[in-house]
Structure 1
Amino acid sequence: MAAIAYVSQDGIARITIDRADARNAINNEVVQGLQEAWRRFAREDDRVAVLGAAGEQAFSAGADLKDMPRDVWLSMPNLSVPCDKPIICAVNGFAVGAGATMVMLADMAVAEEQAQFIYPEAKIGAFAGVMAGFPPRMQYKAGLEWLMTGDPMTAQRAYEIGLVNRVVPKGQAMKVALEIAAKIAANAPLVVQAMKSIARSTLPKSSTEQYYPQRVMLDGIANSADIKEGVASFREKRPPRFTGK
């Protein structure tokens, strides 16, 4: 069974991390599946995406320690795949590490009342840097305390500091997120996309948020047919025949 499910209906892309038995921990399959989901959402006709997770226990337990993922940043919304269409997270339980980062980078979030947000990197001595871009998305002092202590944060506190839009009863996050998505999907898509594009352009970006999109472009060049053609033409002492692919 695929680690990521993608269902398109009524202009809404419902994307699900489907590893409930592993608390929806992020492994390489999840990273690959989510990046493809973001690419699909960006290029197809769905107007809003809702990211959720299977089971009741966790939105995501973060990186899978039994299958450590490479390039976790590729799975993040609004990071590796540029997209002006809104992305909403439906948080149904623990959101740990990279799972909490997904919520931070999404455009909106709905959390169930029992959900907790945990960013343990300061306690284990690891930091990828993406979460450092939190200040435009939640209160600076409160967010910094949360990151530096590594203490769990309740859904209510996440609401108070601006990490989530709404706190709802247990079992209702996806329902409410889809209700919000349906209202947005019924509106003029060009206007909605312009709103997100202009709003995001006003947000200051951390160095990691600036770097990773550039890395996507540079990795594309490094893995292109054109670079192979350039090397081959040099070796064969002939003019290159570039295709832009």
Structure 2
Amino acid sequence: MSDELIFETADGVAILRINRPEVRNAIDGATARAIAAAIDELDERDDLSVGVITGAGGTFCSGMDLRGFLAGDRPSIEGRGFAGLVQAPPRKPLIAAVEGYALAGGCEIALACDIIVASEKATFGLPEPKRGLVPTGGGALKLHKRLPYHVAMELLLTGKMFPAERAHHFGFVNHLVPEGTALEAALALAREIAANAPLALEAIKQVVLQSQDWSQAESHTLQTTLTAHVFRSADAREGSRAFAEKRPPVWTRS
């Protein structure tokens, strides 16, 4: 990894901490490449089941580094999008732990996650039209699916910020926690998820993501193609055996 991103692991969980507090964790090209490498490591390592992404210094991410943008530095990776993440999130579950600002691309990073834990003082927003830009990192594509249409359109077209409390009211934020505790709460949730069977976790995420493009007629058949290996796995037998024996399961990803 690089200085722009701190990568840590514990208890089956990977922590990706954007480490540019002097620019409110704005994403430049080097940071995007570091995040992409961390996502690859999360997916490749059998000892990791869940990722948590957060920011250093009390801010999640303020979006694209505009000074870098003006100098020709693009914080996107072909095929993976902004921050090396928004177009190609990990196969494994990813949780956003949000303190402070999650603006523009920072909001889109949160949108790319499966679960959002936010401080009561956190603020979200997509101010791109105020800068002559469009939120193409997932904001215009996803926000109206996570919020009521008219609420999403007001936020997209005005570019104004919305507080975490309002985001939580609409279900955009899963858990609203006291300031300074978002990472702690996200890690507790991540450990709860990581206690489950890793093959099942990945399959569930893929069914949810891919089924958005399935017709009703083909949905069950396509679901089977993504889940059949889970039912044939040693972990499926271990889960049933552990339940019968009243003990915690020991997963082997096999």
What TM-score range do you get, normalising by the shorter chain?
0.7 to 0.9
Q: Which amino acid aligns with 1:156?
A: E
Q: Which amino acid aligns with 1:136?
A: K
Name structure 1 gaps, 5 residues minimum: 206-245
Q: Find the counterpart in structure 2 of residue 234 from structure 1.
A: none
The TM-score, its normalising length taken from structure 2, stands at: 0.75
Structure 1 pair 196–182 and aligned structure 2 pair: CA distance change class (3 A): same
Q: Find the counterpart in structure 2 of residue 75 from structure 1.
A: 83
Of 46, 53, 56, 2:55 maps to 53
Q: Find the counterpart in structure 1 of residue 202 from structure 2.
A: 193
Residue 120 of structure 2 corresponds to residue 116 of structure 1 = no
Cα distance in structure 2, aligned partners of 1:66 and 1:125 = 15
Deviations 1:138-165 (A, max 9, x none): 3322112111111110001111223211
Give the stretch that moved more between structures: 171-180 or 183-192: 183-192
Q: Which runs of 4+ in 1 moved over 3 A?
A: none
Q: Find the counterpart in structure 2 of residue 228 from structure 1.
A: none
Q: Find the counterpart in structure 2 of residue 103 from structure 1.
A: 110
Q: Find the counterpart in structure 2 of residue 238 from structure 1.
A: none
Q: CA RMSD in A?
A: 1.8
What percent of counterpart residues are identical? Answer: 33
Deviations 1:9-67 (A, max 9, x none): 111000100111111111111111111111111111210000011012x2111111222
Cα distance in structure 1, aligned partners of 2:208 and 2:166 = 24
Deviations 1:102-148 (A, max 9, x none): 01111011010111112111222211523122133333221121111
Structure 1 pair 67–78 and aligned structure 2 pair: CA distance change class (3 A): closer
Cα distance in structure 2, aligned partners of 1:118 and 1:136 = 15
The TM-score, its normalising length taken from structure 1, stands at: 0.78
Cα distance in structure 1, aligned partners of 2:61 and 2:23 = 9
Structure 1 pair 77–163 and aligned structure 2 pair: CA distance change class (3 A): farther
Cα distance in structure 1, aligned partners of 2:13 and 2:158 = 37
Deviations 1:155-194 (A, max 9, x none): 0111122321111100110000000000000011122112
